[in-house]
Amino acid sequence: MLDHERVAIHTGSRSRLPVIVAVHSTALGPAAGGLRLWHYPDWRDGLTDALRLSAAMTSKFAVAGLPSGGGKAVVALPEGVELDPGRRREVLRDVADVIDSLGGMYATGPDVGTGPADMAVIGETTPHVFCRPAHLGGSGDSSPHTARGTLAALRAVSRRLYGTASLKGRGLAIVGLGRVGAGLARLLAAEGAALTVTDIDPDKERISDELGAVWRAPGEILAADVDIVVPSALGSVLTERNVAELRCRAVVGPANNQLAAPHVADLLHHRGIIWVPDYVASAGGVINAISAELHHADADTAHARVRAIEDTVSDLLETAQRLGRTPAQAADELALRRLGAASSLRQGV
Ligand code: PHE
């Protein structure tokens, strides 16, 4: 069953590449979600990603308490295709056309493979775009805010497990040093955490050295002997098989769609490992962008909303324990409640 309100699939008129925009739900408000410019073996894999990621955005907004809906855009690049600046512009203008044709039902933002400069190009065609550079009136790069939001989630988990929100001396394994992962690693290093890190790009070992972290091969990091594993790269890192190898007490990170399948959350729970749903831990970027650009909140207010992820996670962990649920179930139930309340309001029930 298709449970999305609208899915637009276009062949870009300039780039000839598949442009996919998935609007999962506008029950809470117009949809938002980033633009992923990434390689897929087949464009249909990009569609699958867009469907899953947009549904997660709906939950992300609902649990964060923001009046926005879930959407996502994906441009599926064939393997091995790299975009030179001219072609990248064509792709972005194609995406902007599709977004504009939706008339405000969906607004985009940065995601894996895109950043504020790309949002500036999209902004030349359509107003439905977040995170343009500050000089163009946008809230800029969302990744530092996503990193700070994840730090807030980590504090809540630390308080639950160890009775203190401080991460000083705590062993954390960061899986992926992209913009968010590297930013989070810096925040954690400044706090005195003991870091183990990895990335598929061997050049990132430089960041590891700079931070005094221990570098591991990507295939080895999940089984590292650490307190908390922090997935910060692409999705589906947690599988039935590798959950059995984890030695940590919690998994909390900013990557979207961390579970290879939903029941992996139950496997984590049965192993006594706290898993904070990715859509809760990763909400800092959208919270900041939407607070600043839609609600015209000042920077302090927006930052305070990002920090409030700590309370959201504490409440979820507490509710989950009280009701004998996994944190994933508690979060899903909260999201569904808020979505249900919104649709019954609209229907005048
Ligand atoms: N990549 C962001 C996320 O997954 C998407 C986003 C950021 C959308 C900022 C709008 C504004 O949450």
pLDDT in tens, 156-170: 999 999 999 999 999
Ligand 1 near 130 CB (within 6 A): yes
Which residue, judged by its Cα, is nearest atom 9 of ligand 1?
286
What pLDDT score was predicted for residue 291?
A: 96
Which of 142, 282, 291, 306 to mutate for ligand 1's pocket (most ligand atoms within 8 Å of CB)? 142
pLDDT at 7 exceeding the cut of 90: yes
Flag whether pLDDT at 349 surpasses 60: no
Tell me the CA–centroid distance for residue 293 and ligand 1, in Å: 13
Across the strands, what pairs with 194? 171
- How do strand 18-25 and strand 6-11 relate by DSSP bridges? antiparallel
CATH class of 144-282+312-334: alpha beta
Q: Domain-by-domain residue ranges, the chain?
A: 6-53+70-140, 144-282+312-334
Q: What is the structure's pLDDT at 77?
A: 97
What residues contact 289, with CB distance under 8 A and at least 6 apart?
32, 109, 130, 131, 139, 142, 145
| pLDDT for position 335 | 96
Q: Render pLDDT for 234-248 as a digit per residue (tens, 0 to 9).
A: 777 899 999 999 999
Say whether pLDDT at 203 is over 80: yes
**For the chain, what is the mean pLDDT?**
95
User: Hey, which CATH number is domain 6-53+70-140, 3.40.50.800, 3.40.190.10, 3.40.50.920, 3.40.50.10860?
Assistant: 3.40.50.10860
Sign of CA dihedral 57, 181, 151, 116: negative
One fold for both 6-53+70-140 and 144-282+312-334? yes
Residue 145 scores a pLDDT above 90: yes
Residue 347 clears pLDDT 70, i.e. is over it:
no
What is the model's pLDDT at position 342?
A: 78
What was the pLDDT predicted at 346?
67
Q: Which of 128, 169, 167 is nearest to 31 (CA)?
A: 128
- Cβ–ligand 1 distance for 119 under 6 Å, the answer no
59 Cβ below 6 A of ligand 1: no
